[in-house]
Chain A
Amino acid sequence: MLVTVAVNGREHTREVEPRLLLVHFLRDELGLTGTHWGCDTSNCGTCVVLMDGEPVKSCTVLAATAAGHQIRTVEGLEVDGRLDPVQQGFKEQHGLQCGFCTPGMMLTARALLDRRRGSDEPLTDTEIREAISGQICRCTGYTTIVRSIRWAAEWETQELANTQ
């Protein structure tokens, strides 16, 4: 079947089998290998991408279902050579070691920060931990990931204050 999926703001049309999962569509059809493929059972969360701005596990979404939705992958975080604040946070606060879980972690972080945009309440570590609780990291013990996301949140709050 012919499917057209909008990925990082661009539409891609491919002839695929209906059973093709979104993670494989991204990696094998589009060559966007930033989305990692891990447990295949919707447990580990390394395949998380954003679907209409919300994190989903792309190993448990058909490419055919993704047609008609806006997909954002880790490749879509950086804009015009400028790292997303979440990416910058992971760099500043050493949010990764092996890097396998990192794309999924960063996209979930992006969605969390987008949802909370403009909120007067400061982002708590509990909220961050809850948001990434469907994703597994075997290196960091999560501490530096939480710190990285908090760094990005604080940076964006500061940015927002500066522009107002």
Chain B
Amino acid sequence: MQVPAPFEYERAASVEHALTLLRQLGPDARILAGGHSLLPMMKLRLATPAYLIDIDGLADELGYIRVTTPPTPPTPPASGRPAAGAPTPEIRIGAMTRHRALLESELLASRVAIFTDAERVIADPVVRNRGTIGGALCQADPAEDLSAVCAAIGAQMVIRGLDGDRVLDMGEFHRGPYQTAVQDDELLVEIRVPLRTGSGSAYEKVDRRVGDWAVAAAGASLSLDDAGVITDAGVALAAVGMSAAGAIAAAACSPVSDQRGSAEYKRHVAGVLTTRALTRAAARAGATAMKGVPA
């Protein structure tokens, strides 16, 4: 029987209440979101927080997927693209948005399909009913999929403290396995995903069986201009360490041999998946760009 070590339990009634509790209780307190990363770690006694602050009650307040500015301005320039210097529209995802909502979001499927690709292969439908994007990103498991997704598409993380918000790129947010830039008295509240015209993204994963952690996985994002030239690209890998596309990614990653495969096999898989994800991202970017081209 797996039982977590004893802890004191608090329920947060609001984001501010959660932040106040975090400040009061100090570094021995942990946030409990969907619980599907933290509770298993606590059962194995790999995590032994003295206090749990349950933010289950914030699921409505922090559970949303919405576009900040209209994706198509009322009077688009002749090119069909926003004028230079116009703010890039964003999709904003609340940190308590559950995996299932991400998987079922038509907005994400049509604009940032890398989320849909990844969510199809994250755990199973029942786990996806509880697990949250914020919980997954803050757990920062090295084989966790959404960290690679957010890195590939250049998402930004909004971290809130009692003194205000900080907005970090994924590169600054994700510090390594199980480590993020979120301080003891802070809470990840939102994920911001830039919406670029003519962009596409994709996620590829190899796992040993359905719902398992990745042996290796690759996410890719590309933006094309009207001529079909790539203007921006992002590649990120999961489960194989830090990366820099195909062979470059394979050479740059640092997998370790474990029960899911040898380092050599994982390096090979990382390269193949990067190429596949880039190819699919390019096809999706092309499709989006074609839609943006006036007839």
Give A contacts to B, CB under 8 Å.
1, 17-19, 21, 40-42, 45, 48, 51, 54-57, 60-62, 64-65, 68, 108, 130-131, 133-135
Q: Is the CB of A40 within 8 A of B2?
A: yes
Residues of A within 8 A of B42 (CB): 19
**Interface contact A42-B54, CB-CB below 8 Å:** no
Query: Which residues on the B side are within 8 Å of A19 (C-beta)?
Result: 3-7, 42
Docked pose: A34 CA to B42 CA in angstroms: 26
Chain B residues with CB under 8 A of A133: 124-125, 210-211
Query: Does B54 contact A64, Cβ atoms closer than 8 Å?
Result: yes
Contacts of B11 in A (CB 8 A): 64
Given known pairs A18-B7, A133-B124, the reply for A41 and B2 (CB within 8 Å) is yes
Q: Is B163 an interface residue (CB 8 A)?
A: no
- Residues on A with beta carbons closer than 8 Å to the beta carbon of B36: 42, 60
Q: Are A60 and B54 in contact (CB under 8 A)?
A: no
Question: B1 contacts the other chain (Cβ, under 8 Å)?
Answer: yes
Complex alpha-carbon distance, A56 and B11, angstroms: 20
Could you tell me which residues of chain B, from 127 to 172, have a CB within 8 Å of some CB in chain A? 127, 129-130
Q: B220 at interface (Cβ–Cβ under 8 A)?
A: no
B187 CB, nearest partner CB in chain A, Å: 17
CB-CB under 8 A from B126, the residues of chain A are 45, 48, 55-57, 108, 134-135
Q: Does B66 touch A at the CB level, under 8 Å?
A: no
Q: Does B73 contact A (CB under 8 A)?
A: no
Say if the beta carbon of B43 comes within 8 Å of chain A: yes
Q: Known contacts being A40-B2, A133-B124, is A62 close to B8, with CB within 8 Å?
A: no
Bound Cα distance from A40 to B126, whole angstroms: 15
Report A145 CB to chain B, min CB distance, Å: 15
Cβ–Cβ contact A40 & B1, under 8 A: yes
- Bound Cα distance A21, B7 (Å): 13
The chain B residue sitting closest to A69, CB to CB, is: B56
Residues of A within 8 A of B7 (CB): 18-19
Closest Cβ of chain A: how far from B51's Cβ, in Å? Answer: 9
B9 with A134: CB separation less than 8 A: no
Known: A108-B126, A133-B124, A134-B126. A65 touches B6 (CB 8 A): no
B244 at the interface (CB under 8 A from A): no
Q: Chain A nearest CB: distance from B205 CB in Å?
A: 16
The answer to whether A64 and B9 touch across the interface, beta carbons within 8 angstroms, is yes
**Does B176 count as interface, using CB distance less than 8 angstroms?**
no
Say if the beta carbon of B256 comes within 8 Å of chain A.
no
